[in-house]
């Protein structure tokens, strides 16, 4: 009897020690991830402070209005001009055109993989789509220079194949895997009970997809689209290689352009540290920071607005 009691006490003591060590481990993991999260916020805040510190001094020499609305960018001339309007229009135009190409194709791929493709085909196509996302941007830019640019010059009889359309096509190619993969996950996560209820009411497959599945997954789809567009806006190497590099306001999709990111990459090496040109490039970086921050806010708002809630 005493031996059984001792054994029971020993077992309870062991369980108590394991529980205590588990609690300590949980607290350690919680604090570790808290530190990592706070570190990310601190690093982001320091980057923002650095951009402000290096970019804001420009506006003591040039007004913000002239900087944002000026149509000429000649930083190294005898009379330097720092108008970023052509660069902003180029970035917006390339982003809109790339989005118009990538979003419909991405959603088509996502719907096919989630709702129409067989399981065996899905297991092959989904990894391939995700592997495409890992292709280095310099390789995509090289493809645009060597293959797409001559094709555009031959088929559309234009002077240069390095233009807005080429850049938008390459950026769309980069964005499609991101948007398609995340959208497919969102569509696949829609409860089967909703689809079965739709079929029970007499809806066919396409009616169910467009009136039940897609509305229920809008939160994830919007998040995927915003992430894809954010990647398009922030991409540097592709637009540097295939956009043409002209700091002019475009009048056609076949005009050469220079988006904000490529302008920073092209000129930072030749800018004198602390000079007005240097400050102007960091002011452009500040504009990009604000744009991407606004996109992240939009993604958070749309994600919460269209979030599917089930009982």
Under the banding of pLDDT at 50, 70 and 90, the label for residue 164 is: very high
Cβ atoms within 10 Å, residue 148: 20
Q: What is the mean pLDDT of residues 270-282?
A: 89
Pairing of strands 73-74, 81-82: antiparallel
- CA 164 – CA 56 distance, rounded (Å): 30
Cβ atoms within 10 Å, residue 171: 31
Task: Return the CATH number of 64-305, one of 1.10.8.420, 1.10.3720.10, 3.30.200.20, 3.10.20.30.
Answer: 1.10.3720.10
- CA 220 – CA 303 distance, rounded (Å): 7
Q: What is the mean pLDDT of residues 99-116?
A: 92
**Residue 140 burial by CB count (10 A; 0-12/13-18/19+): exposed, middle or buried?**
buried
- CA 236 – CA 233 distance, rounded (Å): 8
Percent of the residues in the chain that have a pLDDT greater than 90, as a whole number: 41
Q: Given this model, what pLDDT does residue 239 score?
A: 93
Cβ atoms within 10 Å, residue 101: 18
Token pair, residue 54, equals 């290096």
- CA 94 – CA 144 distance, rounded (Å): 15
- CA 55 – CA 297 distance, rounded (Å): 23
pLDDT digits (tens, 9 = 90+) for 2-23: 566 556 666 666 666 566 667 7
Q: Given this model, what pLDDT does residue 7 score?
A: 62
Token pair, residue 173, equals 């190619």
Is the separation of the CB atoms in 283 and 119 below 8 Å? no
pLDDT at residue 114 above 50?
yes
Q: What is the mean pLDDT of residues 270-279?
A: 88
Q: Given this model, what pLDDT does residue 17 score?
A: 59
Q: Average pLDDT of the chain?
A: 87
Q: Would you list the domain boundaries of the chain?
A: 2-59, 64-305
pLDDT digits (tens, 9 = 90+) for 188-222: 888 888 888 988 988 888 899 898 899 888 888 98
Under the banding of pLDDT at 50, 70 and 90, the label for residue 170 is: very high
Give pTM, 2 decimals.
0.84
Percent of the residues in the chain that have a pLDDT greater than 70, as a whole number: 91
Q: Given this model, what pLDDT does residue 14 score?
A: 65
Q: Would the CA dihedral through 285, 286, 289, 294 be positive or negative?
A: negative
In the chain, beta strands by DSSP E:
73-74, 81-82
pLDDT digits (tens, 9 = 90+) for 226-260: 889 888 988 999 999 999 988 889 999 999 999 99
Residue count of the chain, please give it.
Answer: 311
Q: Given this model, what pLDDT does residue 24 score?
A: 78
Torsion of CA 46, 49, 55, 61, to 10 degrees: -160
pLDDT at residue 311 above 50?
no
Q: Given this model, what pLDDT does residue 308 score?
A: 60
């Amino acid at each position: 009897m005493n031996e059984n009691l001792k054994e029971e006490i020993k077992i309870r003591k062991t369980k108590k020690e394991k529980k205590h060590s588990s609690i300590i481990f949980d607290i350690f993991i919680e604090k570790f991830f808290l530190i990592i999260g706070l570190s990310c916020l601190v690093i982001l805040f320091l980057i923002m402070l650095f951009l402000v510190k290096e970019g804001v001094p420009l506006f003591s020499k040039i007004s913000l209005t002239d900087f944002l609305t000026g149509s000429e960018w000649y930083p190294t001339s005898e009379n330097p001009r720092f108008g970023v309007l052509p660069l902003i229009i180029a970035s917006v135009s390339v982003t809109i055109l790339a989005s118009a190409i990538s979003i419909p194709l991405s959603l088509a791929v996502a719907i096919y993989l989630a709702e129409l493709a067989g399981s065996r085909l899905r297991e092959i196509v989904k990894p391939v789509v995700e592997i495409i996302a890992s292709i280095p941007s310099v390789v995509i830019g090289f493809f645009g220079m060597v293959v797409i640019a001559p094709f555009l010059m031959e088929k559309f009889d234009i002077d240069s194949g390095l233009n807005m359309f080429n850049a938008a096509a390459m950026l769309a190619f980069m964005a499609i895997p991101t948007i398609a993969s995340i959208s497919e996950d969102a569509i696949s996560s829609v409860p089967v009970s909703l689809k079965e209820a739709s079929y029970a009411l007499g809806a066919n497959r396409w009616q169910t997809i467009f009136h039940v599945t897609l509305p229920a997954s809008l939160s994830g789809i919007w998040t995927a689209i915003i992430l894809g567009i954010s990647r398009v806006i922030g991409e540097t190497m592709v637009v540097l290689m295939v956009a043409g590099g002209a700091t002019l306001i475009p009048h056609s999709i076949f005009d050469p352009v220079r988006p904000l990111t490529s302008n920073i990459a092209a000129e930072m090496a030749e800018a004198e540290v602390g000079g007005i040109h240097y400050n102007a490039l960091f002011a452009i970086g500040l504009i990009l920071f604000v744009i991407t921050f606004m996109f992240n806010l939009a993604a958070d708002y749309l994600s919460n607005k269209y979030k599917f809630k089930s009982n």
